[in-house]
Amino acid sequence: MTAREKALEAHKSLLNGSGKLAYFEDRGLRTETTKGAWIGYDPDRDAFTFPCIAKGGGLLGIHYKTADRDAKGKRRQWWEGYAQDLPPKGHGKKPSDPAKVIPFGMETLSGLEPGSLVILCCGEEDALCLRQIGFTALSQPGAGLLEPVYARQLAGFQIVVFYDAGEEAEAHKDGLTLRKAGAKDVRVVSWPPDAPHGADINDRLVMADEL
């Protein structure tokens, strides 16, 4: 089975009686939002699938994340289904290695006017809820790990880096990568000092009943 077929099968599984849509509903996400992003559920791995699609179309990889969290509040996550023609990293000790940390939502940049506002967060659910209320939003899977080759896809846009509370240093690091890649403007959101570590956009929007 190809990666595309796996993504489509998981998508059908999520929508057709898996009972797992409730996870997204509890986070304020409507079915049409989840459906539009091709989110899926793999029952054999008990994990959600988040297809990462290139700006011009084409599946680059599938990010798997469990719904359950461990004792430290972390979700298990991994990648599968990488495209054979991923762009090279172009930096570090192995610049020819493929860039495997792929932002989620790059396909939403297609046709976007230069200078448009784009929000870069750290969590697919955060990106989806922002998309649901009318923003263009991407998720960087790993704060501070934005690859320059993907940052260049955001060249010419106004970027707001809005990571979880406690990830401000990583947000500034990725903000610098965006500036070097040609972003028109980059702003980094700072959380209030009393924000609990790990607080995120989705939490706050659900609490404020804005979804």
**Domain encompassing residue 192:** 3-207
Separation of alpha carbons 181 and 187, rounded Å: 14
DSSP reduced 3-state for 46: coil
Sheet holding 40-42, edge to edge: 40-42, 47-53, 59-69, 75-80
Total of domains in the chain: 1
Local confidence band at 189 (pLDDT 50, 70, 90 cut-offs): very high
The first and second tokens of residue 67, run together, are: 């719904």
- Distance CA(187)–CA(38), nearest Å, equals 29
| pLDDT over threshold 80, residue 73 | no
Q: What percent of the chain has pLDDT over 70?
A: 100
Confidence class for position 177, pLDDT limits 50, 70, 90: very high
Vertex 82: Cα angle to 80 and 85 (nearest 5) = 170
For the entire predicted model, the pTM comes to 0.94
Neighbouring CB atoms inside 10 A of 180's CB total 12
Contact (CB, 8 A) for 114 and 156: yes
> d(Cα 124, Cα 140) in Å, to the nearest integer?
8
Which residue in the block uniquely carries the two structure tokens 């898996």? 18
Q: Facing residues of 186 across strands? A: 159
Query: Distance (Å, rounded) from C-alpha 68 to C-alpha 18?
Result: 16
